[in-house]
Amino acid sequence: MGLTIWQSMQQKGYSRRDFIQFCTAAATVAGLEHSAVGQVVNAFEKKEKPAVIWMHFQECTCCSESFIRASHPVVLDVLLDVLSLNYTETLMAASGAQAEKSLQDTIKNNKGKYIVLVEGAVPTKDDGVYCMIGGKTAESILQEVSKDAAAIIAWGSCASNGCIQAAKPNPTGATPIHKLVDKPVINVPGCPPIADVMMAVVTHILALGQMPQLDNQGRPKEFYGRRVHDTCYRRAYYDAGLFVEAWDDENARKGYCLYKMGCRGPVTYNACSVVKWNEGTSYPIQSGHGCIGCSEEGFWDNGPFYRHLPKFPGFGIESTADTIGTLVGIATVAGVAAHAVVTNVRKKSVIADVHTEDMKES
């Protein structure tokens, strides 16, 4: 321990030029202005290599898969090199007792300094038996690693809001991280989150030594401050009222807005339409498919994905609020009409009364 980032890069044979390049790229990724590069260089020259623990609980590893596809390979390489990734089930060489020891050592030797990245939700039902590693429940492991952590990042929707594990009826009691630890957690939701966003959040913490600005749901404002819809290139069609009506119609070919096909862009906070995926190649809407809202809490339960509104609970998949509403509306009109008929029959005398008064007047 004790090597700075610059020292460890030197050891690996990087030149000063490479180092400055890396610092510049890191500053860019973290969203800093150019004049802040000096600050980053300074920090990376003095700062110790931070120890990182990457935990995997109830998840599918798509967050890790996404992370290793970041579009700035320099940053990625260096980050993976620079970070002391002391424990991560998917990538580490060690296994069994060795792996456990490495985890314990990291916690012990870096008290208050290490960063915890959590991928996956934590089951809380039935004493947490649904996710155990090395004979310990996910929950107890989480408590152990988070106790002395400098920062905790919740990767992906599982860790941020429960994602598919927490979808109804949530049989394992899957719970997002921020509900289990009493420290501030940076939520980076998405299924998976965008690689470059993950990179940027980590870099931000490394470069500035502080948390990025978060919104009221603990998400970095920089990337989750706007809806996919707000920067979607199909937005002009939305405002014009030009919509795709079927997947294979002329409007789909013309690239009209996918709102009526169930696009969740208007209710989804993410950076897809700006940062995009796979080195800025595309994002779902650009590829012709509506947004499914994967970074929003409970998105699995707000289906079907190809409908604008969620189905009406308890009435089967076909009924929306509008079908129910229309039926109730028709029933009301019918009820009112029936009431009018009954009134004329039952209240003949009352009506006649009013009418005789009428005659008196004339």
Partner 1 sequence: MSTTLQPARPTMKKPVDYYRIYVWELPVRLYHGINAVAMILLCVTGYLIGEPHRVFYAAEAYQLYWFGIVRFIHFVSAFIWTFNFAFRIYWGFVGNRYASWRNYFPITKQQRHDIWNVLTTDVLQFRVKNDEIDIGHNSLAAFTYFITFLFFLAQVVTGFALYSSMSTSALPSMFNWIVPIMGGEAVVRFWHHLFMWFFVVFMIVHIYLAFYHDYIEGRGTISSIVGGWKFHREDDDNK
Site residues (vs ligand HEM, CB under 6 A): 266, 309
Q: Site residues for partner 1, window 107-166 (CB under 8 A)?
A: none
- Reply yes or no: is the peptide bond before residue 220 cis, omega within 30 of 0: no
Residue closer to ligand SF4 by CB (options 10, 320) is 320
Q: Which residues, 6 or more positions from 347, have their beta carbon under 8 angstroms from its beta carbon?
A: none
Cβ proximity to partner 1: between 205 and 244 the closer is 244
The residues, ordered by sequence, that sit 6+ positions from 9 with a Cβ below 8 Å of its Cβ are 18, 19, 22, 78, 81, 82
CB-nearer residue toward ligand HEM: 255 or 266: 266
Pairing state between β 136-137 and 132-133: antiparallel
For 316, phi then psi, to 5°, come to: 80, 170
Closest separation between CB of residue 309 and ligand HEM, Å?
Answer: 5
Distance in angstroms between the alpha carbons of the first and the last residue of the chain = 107
- Residue 92 or 214 having the CB closest to partner 1: 214
Among residues 59, 119, 222, 296, the one that binds partner 1 under rule CB under 8 A: 296
Nearest of 275, 265, 260, 258 to residue 295 by alpha carbon: 265
Q: Is 259 in the site for partner 1 (CB under 8 A)?
A: yes
217 touches, from ligand HEM, partner 1, ligand SF4, none (C-beta below 5 to 8 Å by class): partner 1
241 binds, among ligand HEM, partner 1, ligand SF4, none (CB under 5 to 8 A by kind): partner 1
Contact with partner 1 (CB under 8 A) among 236, 317, 338, 352: 236
Nearer to ligand SF4, 142 or 285 (CB): 285
Query: In this chain, which of 79, 264, 283, 300 binds partner 1, going by CB under 8 A?
Result: 264
And the tokens for 32?
A: 């800093």
Piece in contact with partner 1 (CB under 8 A), picked from 51-59, 128-136, 206-214, 336-344: 336-344
- Compute the distance between CA of residue 272 and CA of residue 186 in angstroms, rounded to an integer: 19
Question: What character string, x for contact with partner 1 (CB under 8 A) and - otherwise, covers 301-320?
Answer: -x-----xxx----------
> Dihedral (C-alpha) 110, 115, 119, 124: value to the nearest 10 degrees?
60
Q: Which of 217, 231, 286, 319 binds partner 1 (CB under 8 A)?
A: 217
CA distance 101 to 94: 10
Read off the DSSP letter of residue 218: S
Write down the number of H helices and E strands in the chain: 15, 9
Count of beta carbons in the 10 Å neighbourhood of residue 203: 23
Question: Which residues of the chain form contacts with ligand SF4 (CB under 6 A)?
Answer: 228-229, 232, 234-235, 238, 257-259, 263, 265-266, 285, 290-291
Question: Which residues of the chain form contacts with partner 1 (CB under 8 A)?
Answer: 216-217, 227, 236-243, 245, 259-260, 264, 266-268, 293, 296-299, 302, 308-310, 321-322, 324-325, 328-329, 332-333, 336, 339-340, 342-343, 346-347, 349-351, 354, 356-362
